[in-house]
Structure 1
Amino acid sequence: MEADSGVVLATERYGSAGSWKYLAKDGVVERKREDRDGESRGNSVVGVFKSVFLPQGYPESVSGDYLQYQFWDTVQAFSSSLSGTLATQASLRGVGVGNQEATVAAATITWLLRDGTGMLGRILFAWQKGSKLDSEAKKWRLFADVLNDIAMFMEILAPYFPACFTLIVCTAGIFKSIVGVAGGATRAALTVHQARRDNMADISAKDGSQETLVNLAGLLISLTLIPLVTDNAVLTLSLFFLFTILHLFANYKAVRSVVMETFNEARLSIVLQQYLRDERILTPLEANQREPVFLEFRKTVPIRLGVRLQEVIQSPEELQLATKKNNMPYLLGVRNGCVCICLGPEASVHQEIRAVCQAVWIGSKLSPPASTETNSHQHQSHWETVHESHKLMDTIFNAFLKGVEAAGWDTKRTLLDWDEWRVQWKSKSN
């Protein structure tokens, strides 16, 4: 046995795919895989699949939530591909495919109008919401998929309203352009999160391979579906709703599976509120499970980060109030029901986190809008609340910061939605 095994000279491994050893045997170096019996053949098939569809170095080269997210993302892409086939068939019928009275010019004009309005929608949406897509990637990812289903539903219904067909498909085109911006941008943001070895390009490329495979499977099934649903509105709508339910469920599970280790406003607020209640620090997994993934339209106290100085103070007296008990490179104030933060150019990432912690606490203490207090009384109480927040952070923030770092949070960078205003100020004492 000893002569058969030889002397081990070295060992090597390829990620987690397997390990090998080099043996000195009869004056020759042999390479032998350290596999259990019967595993080699199976592993070779799995290895080829991994190399084609998964990033190099998987699973060490990606985040821990990668596989679960990609599974649900594959399910949603498959159902969306089938829904898209139904919508495309309806759009083609609406522009006159199969109708001898339809003209090529009319169909072309309709298609160009749809594409043109979509281009304008893409530009306007990126201008208005581009900066939000990093900080609230989960919400906008789910929003994009819901909007995509609405757009496809409109395309399916459009042929039944010929008088409004062009208007409906142009509106659907605008929705799909928004989907393209929000979906593509949030996918990039999630790729940044998943990359653990500066391998964003590899992850993105393999994600494209996965999606192509799914779309190919959807195409094959669509070839079977199309003859069945042609001129059958009931079956078309029934299948569309079935695929839509599966699509939305898979998307919800996908964004819920993402575990971000960096703070945005929602995750920081969740962790801070829990710490203030019982001094317990939530892990990234716990906080992400509590993070809302739907866009919220209910009445809350908004927090505005990186605003102009005049949105915090409007008189020298207010500047003195803002700097009172404050030795930090930021100013906080309450204006028109919003908590505003004015940031200095030298503020560090940790100081930015502290500023948002104060703003979250102030927001939780603000009186409701329907309060019977006079404006001057409210104004005075707001500055008192700001001063209390400085004292509170002086007491708890260092311990809180150490706790979140120990719990696995990344505090070297954040996804807080800061605007670009930076201000240097002087108080009387200076």
Structure 2
Amino acid sequence: MEECGALLATERYGSGESWQYVVKDGALERRRDGREAESRGNSFVGVFKSVFLPQGYPDSVSGDYLQYQFWDTVQAFSSSLSGTLATQASLRGVGVGNQEATVAAATVTWLLRDGTSMLGRIVFAWLKGNKLDSEAKKWRLFADILNDIAMFVEILAPFFPAWFTLIVCTSGIFKSVVGVAGGATRAALTVHQARRDNMADISAKDGSQETLVNLAGLLVSLILIPLVTDNPGLTISLFFLFTALHLFANYKAVRSVVMETLNEARLAIVLRHFLRDGYVPTPLETNREEPVFLEFRKTLPIKLGVRLQEVVQSPEQFRLALMRKDAPFLIGITNGCVQVCLSAHAHTRDEIRAMCQAIWLSDRLSPSGRHQDFWEMVHKSYILIDTEFDRFHKGVEAAGWDVTRTLLDWDEWRLEWKPKIR
């Protein structure tokens, strides 16, 4: 006969729950943490987690998931309230409540706004789509700032009836950019957060969280609308209050993200610390330093994966660029940019190495200079990278960076050259 209370087995649900199976009075009993049963409060928490958090949380997501989602929820709630104020202003602008307004005029205005939004979405995706992976934080924050500008423009539009259509079309273009940048960068962040190839689950639960927040915003909006109707001063005051909260929450959200993959900004920070201080900062330390606002470059821009003709313009320049015939890339400078041409046989390690060399050159060359000694600088950069890169790469791996892939903004041109140039 089994001994009463004998432990038969234990089981865990990730790191969130631990249960024991024991024999009691001849029957199999399941206990949680040594207690007889769950409380109602714990049961409610469990249901809430299963509805709004990914399966296996917190083990199935990145360590920054909860902090990011908290601030993302705050920004979504404040944006929902700001959107209500903007929508009310737009409806008033197209003639809702005005007996002299016609349905046809309102319809034309709405169609023009939608049409310009569609064009804006296509053009922005064409011009900047390739930047949204490598600079997800910057474009995420940019999208939210632009969204606030678009809503403010909509609130002001009714005060300028002669320009109303032009203003709402402009706002529509802004919102189309917001839609592309916000959606694409959210997808990039989901890839970062997913630790068990569970991107679909994370996206679905993010949608549930957003729906809950919008529902809460809707309930608060029902209280706000009677207060702000025919009260422009209160409308604008509340809008600025919600906008300030929205921008602060967005800044905190992108600051909380800790990417372990290297893009240009993070690699530049890591390389500069290594060359200056002799150590490689961790992803957490580097992400704290990474800029999250779009900025004007103070160093020479870098273009990766370009055509050969953008690197060299003569056979002599080609020989100079190929001063290291075993290097899987060529570096040149034209049109005020450091240009990198990548070999067709290059690997991720080679991409990181080429980018390190390009960053070193960019930091030491003035954007407005003529750079007659550029090839001498390239030669120095090869010597430096040959000496330090192996130690640097090992330090990057040891610090916790993912070196199996990168978020460097490479174009698709690849080059093959003969091993010996006559």
TM-score, normalised with respect to structure 1: 0.95
Counterpart CA distance in 2 for 1:92 and 1:228 is 17
- Which residue, 382, 389, 392 being the options, matches 2:384? 392
Structure 1 residue aligned with 2:103: 104
Q: Which amino acid aligns with 1:119?
A: M
Matches within 5 A, 1:164-183: 164-183=163-182
Does 1:408 find its partner at 2:364?
A: no
Structure 2 residue aligned with 1:417: 409
Matches within 5 A, 1:99-178: 99-178=98-177
Q: List per-residue Cα deviations over 1:96-130 (Å, max 9, x = no partner).
A: 00000000000000000000000000000000000
Structure 2 residue aligned with 1:32: 31
Q: Which amino acid aligns with 1:351?
A: D
Asked whether the 8 Å contact 1:333–1:339 carries over to 2, the reply is yes
Structure 2 residue aligned with 1:21: 20
Cα 1:152–1:136, aligned 2, differ >3 Å: closer, same or farther? same
Matches within 5 A, 1:252-401: 252-367=251-366, 369=368, 371=369, 378-379=371-372, 381-401=373-393
Could you say what secondary structure the match of 1:19 adopts? strand
In the TM superposition, residue 23 of structure 1 has moved relative to its aligned partner by 2.2
In the TM superposition, residue 328 of structure 1 has moved relative to its aligned partner by 1.3
TM-score, normalised with respect to structure 2: 0.97
Q: Which amino acid aligns with 1:276?
A: L
Structure 1 residue aligned with 2:192: 193
Asked whether the 8 Å contact 2:299–2:363 carries over to 1, the reply is no
Structure 2 residue aligned with 1:426: 418
Counterpart CA distance in 2 for 1:114 and 1:342 is 42
Q: Which amino acid aligns with 2:403?
A: T
Asked whether the 8 Å contact 2:300–2:366 carries over to 1, the reply is no
Matches within 5 A, 1:201-212: 201-212=200-211
Structure 1 residue aligned with 2:5: 5
Asked whether the 8 Å contact 1:121–1:178 carries over to 2, the reply is yes
Asked whether the 8 Å contact 2:85–2:235 carries over to 1, the reply is yes
Structure 2 residue aligned with 1:236: 235
Cα 1:30–1:37, aligned 2, differ >3 Å: closer, same or farther? closer
Q: Which amino acid aligns with 1:270?
A: I
Counterpart CA distance in 2 for 1:272 and 1:12 is 45
Q: List per-residue Cα deviations over 1:4-29 (Å, max 9, x = no partner).
A: 422x2211111223111222445543
Counterpart CA distance in 1 for 2:366 and 2:374 is 9
Asked whether the 8 Å contact 2:299–2:365 carries over to 1, the reply is no
Asked whether the 8 Å contact 2:299–2:366 carries over to 1, the reply is no
Q: Which of 326-335 and 264-273 deviates more?
A: 326-335
Q: Which amino acid aligns with 1:365?
A: R
In the TM superposition, residue 317 of structure 1 has moved relative to its aligned partner by 0.7
Q: Which amino acid aligns with 1:5?
A: G
Counterpart CA distance in 2 for 1:316 and 1:92 is 65
Could you say what secondary structure the match of 1:314 adopts? coil
Asked whether the 8 Å contact 2:325–2:420 carries over to 1, the reply is no
Cα 1:360–1:167, aligned 2, differ >3 Å: closer, same or farther? same
Counterpart CA distance in 2 for 1:115 and 1:368 is 41
Unaligned regions of 5+ residues in structure 2, if any?
A: none
Counterpart CA distance in 2 for 1:337 and 1:35 is 69
Counterpart CA distance in 2 for 1:427 and 1:15 is 53
Q: List per-residue Cα deviations over 1:157-186 (Å, max 9, x = no partner).
A: 000000000000000000000000000000
In the TM superposition, residue 287 of structure 1 has moved relative to its aligned partner by 0.4
Asked whether the 8 Å contact 2:329–2:342 carries over to 1, the reply is yes
Q: Which amino acid aligns with 1:193?
A: H
Could you say what secondary structure the match of 1:411 adopts? coil
Asked whether the 8 Å contact 2:4–2:23 carries over to 1, the reply is no
Pairwise CA RMSD of aligned residues?
1.5
Could you say what secondary structure the match of 1:332 adopts? strand
Structure 2 residue aligned with 1:226: 225
Counterpart CA distance in 1 for 2:256 and 2:135 is 15
Q: List per-residue Cα deviations over 1:350-381 (Å, max 9, x = no partner).
A: 00000000000011121452x5xxx5xx33x1
Identity across the alignment (%): 76
Q: Which amino acid aligns with 2:235?
A: T
- Which aligned segments of 4 or more residues in structure 1 are displaced greater than 6 angstroms? none
Counterpart CA distance in 1 for 2:199 and 2:367 is 45
Q: How many residues align?
A: 421
In the TM superposition, residue 42 of structure 1 has moved relative to its aligned partner by 2.8
Q: Which amino acid aligns with 2:167?
A: I
Q: List per-residue Cα deviations over 1:373-429 (Å, max 9, x = no partner).
A: xx5xx33x1001111111111111011111011110000000000001011123654
Q: List per-residue Cα deviations over 1:137-172 (Å, max 9, x = no partner).
A: 000000000000000000000000000000000000
Could you say what secondary structure the match of 1:97 adopts? coil
Cα 1:242–1:197, aligned 2, differ >3 Å: closer, same or farther? same
Counterpart CA distance in 1 for 2:418 and 2:308 is 12
Q: Which of 28-37 and 241-250 deviates more?
A: 28-37
Asked whether the 8 Å contact 1:11–1:20 carries over to 2, the reply is yes
Asked whether the 8 Å contact 2:93–2:161 carries over to 1, the reply is yes
Q: Which of 13-22 and 236-245 deviates more?
A: 13-22
Q: Which amino acid aligns with 1:215?
A: N
Structure 1 residue aligned with 2:41: 42
